[in-house]
Amino acid sequence: MEKQELYSLLGIGTTEKESVCVTIYTDQQGSRLEYACHFIFTHVLKCRFEITTNKAVYEKAPFKINYSYESFHDQLQILPSGLLIEKELSSPDSHFKETDGIPVLFSSPIASATSCLLGFDIFSAVFFCISRLEEWQNPERDEHGRFEAKHSCLFSAGILNRPIADEWILLLKQRLLTSFNHLSFPETKFKYISTIDVDNLFAYRHKGFFRTIGGLVKDAVSGRFAQLKERISVLSGARPDPFDVYETLGQWAREGNYSLFYFFLYSNASKYDRTVKPGNKAFQKVLKKIGASAFYGLHPSYNTFVNDGLFKQELKDWQRMSGQNVRISRQHYLRFDIRTTPQQLMEQGIWADFSMGFATQTGFRAGTSHPFHYFNFNTNQPEELLLVPFAFMDGYYFVYNNYPAQELFNHVNELALNVQQVNGLLIGVTHERSFSNAVYKGFASIYKKLGIELRKLT
């Protein structure tokens, strides 16, 4: 996979030279403002932008925003909160207020806001969300070393299921279009991508002699006779393995016209890593089944989170087995720490990480449905690594809650409508085991139906 192909699939295109250019005047330019503007204008609005401290350049520009407390004739102004000129980690006010019926951060002082394009500092608000400043600041983690949803200001405000940063950008777009008659932006559309975490390549097959015998004995001793019967039928070749859904998923993706990404666990070295033994030819057979119908990357095992050498070895082994360079990944158990994991991934040549979401909640961890570049507060600079957010994971519905498959369908449709309203990207996470009725009853048919329904939103 080429980087440009990946970016195109994720809706990150290059802006055309002919596209409009929005000029932003500031009296204190810096990397944080550049980072926020690159996301807002290049990634989301698909247009060019320039930041200038030159008043003459600003005044001659056809489409412009004054991001300062200075006054200009016929200006569209956004009042800076001060966050983007800081050089250190800070603790800004992350309480939401309402502007035009939308919850916002960094609300502007009412007395000064009469000439404002917006009633809040959108550049600081977007920066706060996508830089993951709150994750850098908050040291609390769960037993797996993860930042929890309950510590998110979006969760506390009750808006985690809204791509709120995308809503802010849409509001900015509407205000600019109203203010400038000849301004236009490229058309964007809702898009859906399905991602599959393959934690266990097969339920029963290719487990080796001792694991197979152990499974048979455990089923018999535990009285799981239906599972014992199924295990024997699969091992004898009388029926397919319940986790062998790879060809079927490819067919459903073609019918729904959505992209499909797989992330394969390639370790069975701990109680959290239980897949087929690495090196087994079964992996190559599955990759052959997938063929060109999907894209795949690595699902680094549980302990790679604290072991750089282990991650490097798994990556090397997977690349040797698959015959391809690995450029995308998602952390197993979502063991992702904004302060350390990105550096580990970048050192091994990863272009994009798909861990940006919560296991115990649905919604938009960074307030956006769009991918964004990692911001490194150690250097106060953005990095090339792309962080790709997902909105829902199957485990939320049947592991952390007891929701039937139909309720998942209804809930994901609500999330999809929120994303469609901002022409965003909806990414879901499922696991190979969820397609087995014994694990999640009715999920397979709902998943297929969901892909067809979401196509109608594009």
> Is pLDDT at 409 greater than 70 in this prediction?
yes
pLDDT digits (tens, 9 = 90+) for 39-68: 999 999 999 999 999 999 999 999 999 999
Tokens encoding 432 = 């190979």
- Partners of residue 389 on adjacent β-strands: 356
Q: 264: pLDDT confidence band, cut at 50, 70 and 90? A: very high
Q: Report the interhelical angle of 282-290 vs 308-322 (nearest 10°).
A: 70
Say what the pLDDT of residue 210 is. Answer: 66
Say what the pLDDT of residue 110 is. Answer: 58
> Is pLDDT at 109 greater than 90 in this prediction?
no
Rounded mean pLDDT, 397-411: 95
Query: 45 vs 98, which has greater pLDDT?
Result: 45
Q: What is the DSSP string of 299-317?
A: ---GGGGG-HHHHHHHHHH
Window from 137-141, 213-217, 246-250 with minimum mean pLDDT: 213-217
> Is pLDDT at 241 greater than 70 in this prediction?
yes
Q: Report the interhelical angle of 164-179 vs 122-130 (nearest 10°).
A: 150
Rounded mean pLDDT, 88-113: 80
**pLDDT above 70: percentage of residues in the chain:** 96
Count Cβ atoms within 10 A of the Cβ of residue 346 and give its class: 0-12 exposed, 13-18 middle, 19 or more buried. middle
Say what the pLDDT of residue 249 is. Answer: 96
Say what the pLDDT of residue 66 is. Answer: 95
> Is pLDDT at 310 greater than 50 in this prediction?
yes
Rounded mean pLDDT, 69-93: 86
pLDDT digits (tens, 9 = 90+) for 195-233: 999 999 998 888 777 677 866 677 677 877 677 777 787
Domains of the chain: 20-179 (no CATH), 191-203+241-455 (3.20.20.370)
Say what the pLDDT of residue 111 is. Answer: 44
pTM of the model: 0.94
Secondary structure E strands in 299-434? 328-329, 352-356, 372-376, 381-389, 392-393, 425-431
- Partners of residue 430 on adjacent β-strands: 196
Give CA–CA dist 306/328, Å, rounded: 19
Which of 70, 165, 163 is CA-nearest to residue 124?
A: 165
| 297 three-state secondary structure | strand
